[in-house]
Chains A and B, each alone.
Chain A
Amino acid sequence: MATRQRQQPKTWSLLGDVRRRPSAYEAVTAKFHYHFRREPTPFEHPGMPLNDWYLRNREGSPFQVDDWEDFRDPYKLTYKDYVALQHDRETYVDKLIDRHEESASVEGLSDEWVSTLRELYIPLRFPLHILQMVGLYVGQMAPSAYITNCANFQAADELRRIQRIAYSTKMLANAHGDELAATATARSAWEKDPVWQPLRETLENLLIAYDWGEAFVALNLVVKPSLDAVVNWRLSELAERNGDHFLAALLAEFQQDSNRSRKWSADLAQYALGRQPDLRQVMEGWTAAWTPRIEAAVKALAQPFDEAPVGLAATDVVSATGTQARDHLQACGL
């Protein structure tokens, strides 16, 4: 009797006739955005106003390649892996806080250093919240779930950083005065202090960079890498110099998230350039438009570094950040 070979599907039919069985990461990520380039309109009812929004800012963006579905997150993160990773990192941060609460190290900080933190550290939750917002914008506009997921996890990482900044702000306030934890302290600096205004101008404009390609390039290739370098790297260094080992370690920890963002962003930029070399002009147009804005912002933020009890030269902060920014663009193939 002839044995009948039962045909078993290797994978989702939408993935076509694949030679290699897709990984679990791919099986739960590939081709989820049924609405991208859907005809006649992305969404079922053509009269829905968001069709125009997506057709203009996503399908109509100059940032196009034939197919985005071959892009892969270099970390291949699924939700399950993401929360497992961050559960570990947050456990580390919990312990870091435990150690410093035990030693009451925050109480030993000098008034001068606390006043630097008041100016430079405490208002940070406002600009970082905008990075969270724009990250979610990139996530909801991206043409492939492979990109959406990276952007959404990145936004969650901003939330993570903000919350630990909030916690440490309360620690500072408990030791050095309640007013440090008042909303007005952070908000008025953010709204009025000249140190923050170039950054605020940059980020408020970033909020309305609605073309999805521009939003991605401006956020992940230009603005965030520079701001992250100032916050996680230079400010960590400044804290270390001023004997604030807790903040130094906390901020350095966030560099892990930033590195992940830089890596997938560089891979996506390279992917786009590899698929469509003409995109170089488009992307360089955007980086050229956004670089001077973030440079002005970093320059203003660098001033208080100079004035800290043990200072870091403002010019060094600016040049070190600029070097990192250029390195990142180079990694992006730009």
Chain B
Amino acid sequence: MPRLARSEWYDLTRDMNWTLSYVSDEDVWPQDLSNSYGIPTEKWWGWDEPYKITYPEYVHNQVGKDASVYSINAVLSRSRIFEELDPGWKSAILAHYGAIAVPEYLAGIGEARMGRFGRAAAWRNMATYGTLDETRHGQIQTYFPYGLLAKEPRADWAHKTMHTNEWGAIAARSLFDDMFTANDAVSTAIQLTFTFETGFTNLQFLGMAADAMKVGDVDFGALISSIQTDEARHSQQGEPTVKILIANGQGEVAQKLVDHMFWRSWHVFALLTGLSMDYYTPLEHRTHSFKEFMEELIVKQFMDQFRDFGLEVPWYWKEHFLPELDWYHHALHLGVWFWRPTVWWNPDAGVSPAEREWLEEKYPGWNDSFGQYWDVITANVRDGHPELTLPETFPTICNMCQIPLVNPAGFNAGRLAHPEPLIVDRDGRRLLFCSEPCKWVYEQNPARFAGQLSLVDRFLAGHIQPPTMEGALAYMSLSLAEMGQDATNYAWAFEKQLAVPGT
């Protein structure tokens, strides 16, 4: 191997910062693509990545990682492992592929934007590896479900979700376009890498990998834990960017960018990861509850990170975020299960007697709050009326996070002061928000968000024809064969006599 240590020549790979002569700084780094927040060009040149790697190291490492993940897949795809997976777990991985696979590839656009419009050569180099990484993640996470198509037609959603107007797809697209596909390079470093990748990808990729290994889904577990090793590297573009903002008196900007994207990520991942961990993963294989994972991988890590950099926890931390850990995803789960024809996976109710016991243990009070709803649902199912558990009307949708409002369930569970959404009348339009932080995110930047119509707004504006449930399902690209059904055909409702009120 070449004799010079990396540290002896590394600086020569990243000192390509120079003063432009023939064109202007504003033209080369336009604000829309690279918001300098007023910090002068040369102040950015000290950008210093904590994780150092060279191109030869990169290809030498990555080739081995890819070979091992693909070879596991090659072996397992010939086995019957997938067929034998628990139906709830299958739903978790189908939800994951739909929400994550193509967006990861698109995160490569955000990386390439930092690779072009990042304000230091060192940063642009890191983002070049990031671009490659996200290409990997997009490809590997479509390749695996592609192999499942013959066994599981819903695997098609790994590829098509972002092309649809399915409501979860709109929520994911709204989040990810805001975070990276349509974000400027400096904000991307704070919002994608510092806020999202250091926290929420850990949750989905490490947390779910732990569960996957216990479930025996080695394929998925190996895949996502390998991905996380790349995330751990390229997520470190956030730290030096935050440092430069703070050192140049722009700490408040960094704080706002974090507060904005942390909240948005929380809502979408409560939906994706929350349901997967606490309801879809088979009980005997759950390593921790979603709340425990959140506390370990997000709350603690973010508190540390904020303290290290002199940032504060977001303003809504105590009043809104921590309380939601106890109820928000439970309420979403009820809604998703009830509106199950509107999602591309089969929601697993996950409320058999033993599971309810676990929920009560992990979330004291669950039986009194959410259990009540499930009592009624269980009774209907047991009485032979599952049709009573299906929707005929639409929920309302938050104009920021694009997720249906579940405030009444939060109110009935004693967690919210009011069941009604927050209402804002603005420029002749009535906007509904699920929470103070969603309203705050919107109002920080109304020009960015104002023109968009939520799925319900589109319905009311006549964009969805015919204006019926069938019309809406077609608008969401859900065929009869793809609409979600109860994952276990209601087996949970019959597992053991329950103390159901009225029976």
Q: How far is the CA of A275 from the CA of B12 in the complex (A)?
A: 44
Q: Given A50-B33, A79-B135, A86-B59 in contact, is the A31-B159 Cβ separation under 8 Å? A: yes
| CB-defined contacts of B160 to chain A, threshold 8 Å | 12-14
Indicate whether B480 reaches chain A with its CB closer than 8 angstroms: no
B33 and A166 form a contact (CB under 8 A): no
- Establish whether residues A140 and B16, one from each chain, have CB atoms under 8 Å apart when the complex forms: no
For B11, the closest partner residue in chain A by CB is A183
Report the Cα distance A204→B447, complex, angstroms: 32
Residues of A in contact with B (beta carbons under 8 Å apart): 8-9, 11-14, 24, 27-29, 31-35, 42-53, 78-80, 82-84, 86-87, 90-91, 93-94, 97-98, 101, 125-126, 129, 132-134, 136-137, 139-140, 145, 148-149, 152-153, 155-156, 159-160, 162-163, 166-167, 169-171, 174, 181, 183, 186-187, 190-191, 200-201, 204-205, 207-208
Bound-state Cα–Cα, A49 to B32, Å: 6
* Size band of the interface chain B makes with A: 35 or more
Contact B452 A145, beta carbon cutoff 8 Å = no
Task: Choose from B9, B28, B173 the contact partner of A44 (Cβ within 8 Å).
Answer: B173
Neighbour of B451 across the interface among A45, A148, A207, CB < 8 A: A45
Q: How far is the CA of A153 from the CA of B108 in the complex (A)?
A: 12
Q: Nearest chain A CB to B24's CB is how many angstroms away?
A: 9
**When the two chains form their complex, are residues A166 and B162 in contact, meaning their CB atoms are under 8 A apart?**
no
Q: Nearest 3 A-B pairs (CB), nearest first? A: A166-B12, A46-B451, A170-B9
Apart from A28-B140, A136-B127, A187-B17, 4 more pairs, CB < 8 Å:
A9-B150, A50-B32, A163-B13, A191-B18
Are A205 and B55 in contact (CB-based, < 8 A)?
A: no
- Collect the chain B residues with CB atoms within 8 Å of residue A44's CB: 170, 173-174, 177-178, 452
Q: Whole-angstrom distance between the alpha carbons of A174 and B106 in the complex?
A: 43
- Point out residues on B near A: beta carbons under 8 Å: 1-4, 8-13, 15-23, 27-28, 32-33, 54-56, 58-60, 62-63, 66-67, 70, 102, 105-106, 108-109, 112-113, 115-116, 121, 124-125, 127-129, 131-132, 135-136, 138-140, 142-143, 146, 149-150, 153, 156, 159-160, 162-163, 170, 173-174, 177-178, 181-184, 447-452
- Tell me whether B156 and A34 are in contact (CB under 8 A): no
Least CB distance, A254 to chain B, in whole angstroms = 12
Contact A78 B116 (CB under 8 A): no
- Measured CB to CB, the closest approach of chain B to A35, in angstroms, equals 7
Interface core residue of B3, B9, B70 (most chain A CB under 10 Å): B9
Task: Report chain A residues within 8 Å CB of B136.
Answer: 79-80
A50 to B33 Cα, complex, angstroms: 8
Q: Report A-chain residues with C-beta under 8 Å of the C-beta of B170.
A: 44
Does A187 contact B18, Cβ atoms closer than 8 Å? Answer: yes
Instruction: Decide if B452 touches A45 in the complex (CB within 8 Å).
Output: yes
CB pair A35–B181 under 8 Å, yes or no, is yes
Q: For residue A183, which residue of chain B has the nearest CB? A: B15
